[in-house]
Structure 1
Amino acid sequence: MRGARERRVRVLVHLTELSELPLGGLPEPAFKERLRAELMSGALATAEPEAPEERAAGRPQPLLGGRGRRRRSRGRPLLSQLATVGLVAALMVSSFATYRAVPGDSLYPLKRAAETTLVHLTSDDAERAARELDSAKARAKEVATLLGSSVDGPLVDETLKDMEESTRAGISRLERAEPRSPKIKKFARDQKEAVKPMLQQLDEDQLAQAEGYLSYIEGLAAPE
């Protein structure tokens, strides 16, 4: 049970790393090498160790019946390895598709569930705040994507609301963990640059919501 839980956590961590890529981007070579290493280590971990007596030199071979049973028993670890690699590979392919999902896509709830799980699995307040703020940045990118497509207004409204909720939760937690952290001002500047170009594409209600958000984050970046 513990090993399965750790594997699920690693997949969720990879999904978070993928979500930080620009839309349409590809993973860095270091990420792919780390993934390949984890796939191989997961496969090798399922292999049954060879008994010491089987490695002893000069041991006589068993009869045909015993040899047949030995071959069949050795085949099971190989199948287990292939199944492990296949499962993890399938999860990672799904992760690539999930991280690209935007509101309205069938995989979008999975993306949000993964983000929420990673936040809740984080016990360190500063790290948890960083994940909340990363979620706010992701929502800003999703709003920009939605505005560039033909979608219903409610999706934009809901995403703007989620962006503000994640921002306030992350800032509140970061202020407690690291008072006067320079990360707050940097986040505010980055979000302002991301949200301000959208204003001309928003309707009246969305504009009021976005302007209220900008007013909030501009206060965070204001000189003390």
Structure 2
Amino acid sequence: MDSDLFSRRRAERFAQLLDEANGGRRRHARSRADDQLAALVAVGQRLRTEVPAVEVDPDFRTGLRAMLLATAEREGIGAPAAAEPAAQRSTTTTGRGSLLPAVTARRARARGAILIGIAAGAIAVSGISAASENAVPGDALYGMKRSTERAQLALTSSDISRGQLFLDFARTRLGEAAALRGDQTGFSAVLDDMDADTRQGVRLLNSAAVQRSDPAALDAVNSFLTGQRRSVNALLDDATRPERDRARRSLALLDAIRERSDALRAAIACGLPAPAGSDALGPAPAACPPGR
């Protein structure tokens, strides 16, 4: 599949959904990306009503404006259409040709909506990121922090990139857990979310490694495991007994992921025998045949 074409269609569909959410004409057609883009549209709607009280760096505003103007000039947004030769106009008054100006106008509007959305979103999200970076469950901006994460996932089309994002979110959840020690309910809930993000990311990366017969995606998993295990172990210091028990469950998950990663790496090295099945961590490889 042409990834550029896919990304363009995805962006144009996002512009349509954003227009519909803001009261524009609703279209009957649906796209396979609608469910993923819905999270991003929801963030856009919240940004219209929940403006953060954060000052944006003037240099960022200047750089963003220059980028948008350059993109608008490159895409021809806002520029008057060049005059068509008379002979060409005569051939486009009937049939399919008569639809071209309308199609071109719609695409120009879609590109314009995308640029406007990027401008508003980038300025607002930059402020929200600064304000919500250290938010934890119970803070006013925590919901926005999680919505921004879902928007990042919605904009990511590669399974490998999405898997790495999930692992980044697992690291973020771990930092939140460290701030919630002493709150047993919140501590346990954040570690539940951390483990869920970990499974999602590992499943995507393990599946990508098997599909491509390439262990490169497993390197990202192993790198994550090294740092994450060290940080989870640090939660055991000065923890209550329930907190230690809950942290050890997360350590057990990391151990299981390490075993799966090693088994997948060995299976790829010996030619990937048929997998034994699949579970929450992705493909479960069969043992390599003797002598291979």
TM-score tier after normalising by the smaller chain length? 0.5 to 0.7
Deviation at 1:158, TM superposition (A): 0.9
Aligned residues: 168
How is 1:95-106 mapped onto 2 (pairs within 5 angstroms)? 95-106=129-140
Indicate conservation of the 8 Å contact 2:159/2:204, yes or no: yes
Q: Deviations over 1:161-202 (max 9, x none)?
A: 100010011111110012441111111111011110111343
* Map of 1:208 onto structure 2: 245
Deviation at 1:48, TM superposition (A): 6.1
- Residues 40 and 173 from structure 1, CA distance in 2 versus in 1: closer, same or farther, beyond 3 angstroms? same
Point out the structure with the larger helix share. 1
- Residues 88 and 161 from structure 1, CA distance in 2 versus in 1: closer, same or farther, beyond 3 angstroms? closer
Q: What secondary structure is seen at the aligned counterpart in 2 of 1:210?
A: helix
Deviation at 1:41, TM superposition (A): 3.1
Cα separation, 2, equivalents of 1:87 and 1:165? 28
Indicate conservation of the 8 Å contact 2:64/2:119, yes or no: no
Deviation at 1:123, TM superposition (A): 2.2
Question: 1:194 pairs with 207, 231, 234, which one?
Answer: 231
- Residues 212 and 88 from structure 1, CA distance in 2 versus in 1: closer, same or farther, beyond 3 angstroms? closer
Q: Deviations over 1:140-174 (max 9, x none)?
A: 11112223xxx632211111110001001111111
Question: 1:38 pairs with 61, 64, 67, which one?
Answer: 64
Q: What secondary structure is seen at the aligned counterpart in 2 of 1:178?
A: helix
* Map of 2:191 onto structure 1: 160
- Residues 171 and 89 from structure 1, CA distance in 2 versus in 1: closer, same or farther, beyond 3 angstroms? closer
Q: Deviations over 1:43-71 (max 9, x none)?
A: 67599669xxxxxxxxxxxxxxxxxxxxx
**CA RMSD in angstroms, aligned pairs only:** 3.6
Structure 1 residue 173 corresponds to structure 2 residue 204: yes
- Residues 87 and 138 from structure 1, CA distance in 2 versus in 1: closer, same or farther, beyond 3 angstroms? closer
Q: What secondary structure is seen at the aligned counterpart in 2 of 1:200?
A: coil
Q: What secondary structure is seen at the aligned counterpart in 1 of 2:237?
A: helix
How is 1:22-171 mapped onto 2 (pairs within 5 angstroms)? 36-42=62-68, 45=72, 89-147=123-181, 152-171=183-202
Q: What secondary structure is seen at the aligned counterpart in 2 of 1:116?
A: helix
Structure with the larger RCO, 1 or 2 (CA within 8 Å, 6+ apart): 1
Indicate conservation of the 8 Å contact 1:189/1:221, yes or no: no
- Residues 99 and 217 from structure 1, CA distance in 2 versus in 1: closer, same or farther, beyond 3 angstroms? same
Indicate conservation of the 8 Å contact 2:236/2:247, yes or no: yes
Q: Normalising by the residue count of structure 1, what TM-score does the alignment of the two structures yield?
A: 0.61
Q: What secondary structure is seen at the aligned counterpart in 1 of 2:157?
A: coil
Indicate conservation of the 8 Å contact 1:40/1:85, yes or no: no
- Residues 211 and 87 from structure 1, CA distance in 2 versus in 1: closer, same or farther, beyond 3 angstroms? closer
Question: For structure 1, which segment, 197-206 or 106-115, has the greater mean C-alpha deviation from structure 2 after superposition?
Answer: 197-206
- Residues 159 and 187 from structure 1, CA distance in 2 versus in 1: closer, same or farther, beyond 3 angstroms? same
- Residues 104 and 201 from structure 1, CA distance in 2 versus in 1: closer, same or farther, beyond 3 angstroms? farther
* Map of 1:55 onto structure 2: none
- Residues 201 and 120 from structure 1, CA distance in 2 versus in 1: closer, same or farther, beyond 3 angstroms? farther
Cα separation, 1, equivalents of 2:161 and 2:186? 28
- Residues 86 and 161 from structure 1, CA distance in 2 versus in 1: closer, same or farther, beyond 3 angstroms? closer
Structure 1: runs of 5+ lacking an equivalent: 13-31, 51-83
- Percent pairwise identity: 25
Deviation at 1:85, TM superposition (A): 7.4
